[in-house]
């Protein structure tokens, strides 16, 4: 048994480990752990208190994948509900679909009685307001929100650099692998922008025959490289988990233009070996791991590799002033 989460998974991993140890199925344990992160108000990139989009609204993305059946449930751009991971889980169990977005996702959330709530707090409201007053032209402020948003979305950011989405990967007592993700995506993103967290194959993938993978950071990069599916496929083709992740990093070197920033790739194989590599990562990038036999989850540093300079990142980093 094993549970691996990124740095933001700290508030959930203990409960996930406890449930796994008690014999719970991996997906049940993951859902319970991710819900705790969604509830954690100090994690401002997942669930309630996540940073808003350009229009000052929090849009949540989440997904789950069952590695035994290859069934998935993913939700994109969900507004007004506190636990997108549970909406994604119910989608997997009840609908003949794999991904719901926006209004349709909210309709389904209401239909299943998902817990509704205000996703903003005073801090995120005033951060957005300060950004609006400082960065939006006078002319656009007059006609807001009926303006061209393109010029404002280039500095979309995770305002607390190095903190992001949460991702969970589990290997349960039955040898089943599963994955879960949840995020508010990039702060100040274009409304409707989906990252990789709800895109199965990019931000996560689990196949109990081979392994599982989930990514955090610039979803724009893992969508283009098909990273999570690629890592699992490389394991199917015979690579170790370490080689598979290294190969997926090589794939990223081919990305030209667009948003090139940080990505952390978290992967496990069916035997419980793991690899966490932070592409353009920061020294503080770490992950949490609990394995059968460990008294409690522990944090470990990610392996850091660099693939390119990220010049536009400097302006985005400067945006963090609004998150203070
Ligand atoms: N991967 C997430 C996204 O692209 C963001 C993050 O992990 O910081 O929406």
Confidence of residue 105 (pLDDT cuts 50, 70, 90): very high
The answer to whether 75 touches 198, Cβ cutoff 8 Å, is yes
CB 168 within 8 A of CB 38: no
Q: Which of 5, 72, 165, 166 is catalytic?
A: 165
pLDDT band at 24 (very low <50, low <70, confident <90, very high): very high
> 218 vs 147, 185, 300, CA distance in Å?
26, 9, 21
**What mean pLDDT is reported for the chain?**
93
| Positive or negative torsion for Cα 109, 95, 183, 141 | negative
pLDDT tens-place string over residues 268-316: 999 999 999 999 988 888 999 999 999 999 999 999 999 976 555 666 6
Atom of ligand 1 nearest to the CA of 45: 8
Q: Whose CA is nearest to atom 3 of ligand 1?
A: 195
Per-residue pLDDT tens digits for 41-97: 888 889 998 889 999 999 999 999 999 999 999 999 999 999 999 999 999 999 999
Task: Locate the ligand 1 atom nearest the alpha carbon of residue 262 and give its number.
Answer: 8
How far is it, in rounded angstroms, from Cα 176 to Cα 324? 42
CA torsion through residues 24, 36, 74, 207, sign? negative
Residues with Cβ < 8 Å from 160, sequence gap 6 or more? Answer: 44, 45, 320, 323
Q: What is the CATH number of domain 2-322?
A: 3.60.20.30
How far apart (Å, rounded) are the C-alpha atoms in residues 278 and 148? 34
**Per-residue model confidence as pLDDT tens digits over 227-276:** 999 999 999 999 999 999 999 999 999 999 888 888 999 999 999 999 99
Convert the pLDDT of each residue in 158-206 to its tens digit.
Answer: 656 656 799 999 999 999 999 999 999 988 999 999 999 999 999 999 9
Q: Kindly give the distance from the C-alpha atom of residue 44 to the centroid of ligand 1, in angstroms, as a whole number.
A: 12
Q: Give the span between the Cα atoms of 253 and 12, in whole angstroms.
A: 33
Separation of alpha carbons 250 and 259, rounded Å: 17
Question: What distance in angstroms lies between residue 84's CA and the mean position of ligand 1's atoms?
Answer: 15
165 catalytic per annotation: yes
The per-residue pLDDT for 162 is 59
């Amino acid at each position: 048994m094993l549970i691996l989460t990124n740095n933001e998974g700290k508030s959930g991993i203990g409960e996930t480990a406890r449930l796994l140890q008690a014999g719970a199925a991996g997906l049940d344990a993951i859902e319970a752990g991710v819900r705790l992160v969604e509830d954690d108000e100090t994690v401002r990139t997942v669930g309630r208190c996540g940073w808003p989009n350009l229009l000052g609204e929090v849009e949540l993305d989440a997904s789950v994948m069952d590695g035994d059946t290859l069934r998935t449930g993913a939700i994109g751009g969900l507004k007004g509900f506190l636990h997108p991971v549970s909406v994604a889980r119910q989608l997997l169990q009840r609908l003949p679909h794999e991904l719901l977005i926006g209004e349709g996702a909210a309709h389904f959330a209401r239909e299943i009685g998902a817990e509704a709530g205000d996703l903003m707090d005073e801090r995120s409201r005033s951060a957005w307001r300060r950004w609006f007053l400082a960065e939006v032209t006078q002319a656009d402020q007059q006609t807001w929100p009926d303006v061209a948003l393109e010029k404002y979305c280039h500095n979309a950011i995770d305002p607390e650099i190095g903190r992001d989405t949460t991702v969970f990967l589990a290997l349960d007592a039955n040898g089943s692998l599963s994955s879960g993700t949840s995020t508010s995506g990039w702060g100040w993103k274009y409304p409707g922008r989906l990252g990789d967290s709800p895109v199965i194959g990019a931000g996560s993938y689990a196949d109990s025959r081979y392994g599982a993978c989930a990514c955090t950071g610039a979803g724009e990069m893992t969508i283009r490289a098909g990273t999570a599916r690629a890592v699992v496929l490389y394991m199917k083709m015979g690579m170790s988990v370490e080689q598979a992740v290294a190969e997926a990093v090589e794939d990223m070197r081919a990305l030209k233009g667009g948003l090139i920033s940080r990505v952390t790739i978290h992967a496990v194989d069916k035997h419980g070996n793991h690899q966490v590599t932070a592409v353009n990562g920061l020294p503080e990038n770490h992950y949490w791991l609990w394995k059968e036999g460990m008294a409690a989850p522990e944090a470990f540093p990610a392996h850091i590799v660099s693939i390119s300079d990220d010049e536009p990142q400097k302006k985005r980093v400067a945006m963090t002033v609004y998150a203070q």
